Amino acid sequence: MRKKDENQVIRITPPKDANEDNEMLTQENFDKICESILSKFNVAPLAERISEKSAETSEDFLELAKSANSSRSALKYAKKALELDPENLDASVIVAEASASSPDKLLDKYKKLIGEAEKKLESEGYFDENCIGEFWLILETRPYMRLLMNYVETLVECCKMRCAAEVCEKMLRLCNSDNLGARYRIMHIYAYLEEEQAALKILEKYPVDDTQMLLPMSIMYYKLGDLKESVKYLKKLRTLNKDTIEFFENIAENDFEQLLYSMNPFGYRPDTIEELMAEGSENTFLFGAAVTYFDWALSKLKTMK
């Protein structure tokens, strides 16, 4: 019944002379690498291998829906995928997104899908104790986890931060390895809500210093008025990310949008200004709620030894 993906970690070793600042391997980057490798063996890209005429299975039509150029086409292919497999949750999500008239309507659709998915997964034993914590290792639970992440993003869009935090907390209970990065989203939400103890628990569970953990911690303590703690995390950020001062200078000079346009659309290099810019673009709710923090932090950075 349960199929564990034992080979879930994919490692690509760079050549010996590669720059150590290797670009983060996003799913999109990985897909491009795969297509490049396939092309060397004269294997056509996925989009060329599957067409409306050649598509046969629910998964075929799901792939067509994902690569569709319009919401109308995506909706058509996703509905066809559901005709062939009514339990194709990823297809149901695409139908919901393509047919919702507003973010609030989409939340209603997501909530219904989550309820249905949880009922099904529970009946199949996936909410048993031996599965909790491994929801990304189990292939059948991945669509549910993707749905939860989409739900979080829409809750944030609707400014329903406490609800978004609760869904992230659920995701982290279900998947200890946090393959979808819910810990980064929830850390920014906790900083926005000024929930210190909850944020500290996340740091305890994922103790490795990370750009997208350190910055929200510094912002949170600034908001709480604990400037000593804010500076502590700011120092850690400067030590970890060599572009920290440059990032804060660009914000001070109102070059944030210009930098966004110059970013690599296929991902970012960890612990560089690219990651800080990606973090800012994905968490505007926190940055907008702490505008004065950045001038203050820049002044502290310039005096640090």
The per-residue pLDDT for range 167-213, each reduced to its tens digit, is 999 999 999 999 999 999 999 999 999 999 999 999 999 999 999 99
Q: For residue 171, which amino acid is it?
A: M
Distance CA 150, CA 110 (A): 8
What is the DSSP code (8-state) at residue 72? Answer: H
Residue 250's CB is within 10 A of a number of other CB atoms, namely 19
Residue 235's CB is within 10 A of a number of other CB atoms, namely 17
- 194 phi-psi bin (left φ>0, alpha ψ -120 to 50, beta other): left
> Position of tokens 């194709």?
88
The per-residue pLDDT for range 81-121, each reduced to its tens digit, is 999 999 999 999 999 999 999 999 999 999 999 999 999 99
Distance CA 221, CA 224 (A): 5
What is the DSSP code (8-state) at residue 305? Answer: -
Question: pTM for the full model?
Answer: 0.83
The per-residue pLDDT for range 6-38, each reduced to its tens digit, is 333 333 333 334 344 444 444 445 555 555 544
- Answer yes or no: are the C-beta atoms of 139 and 6 closer than 8 Å: no
Instruction: State the distance between the two ends of the chain, measured CA to CA, in whole angstroms.
Output: 58
Residues shown for the chain: 305
The per-residue pLDDT for range 112-148, each reduced to its tens digit, is 999 999 999 999 999 999 999 999 999 999 999 999 9
The SS3 assignment for 134 reads strand
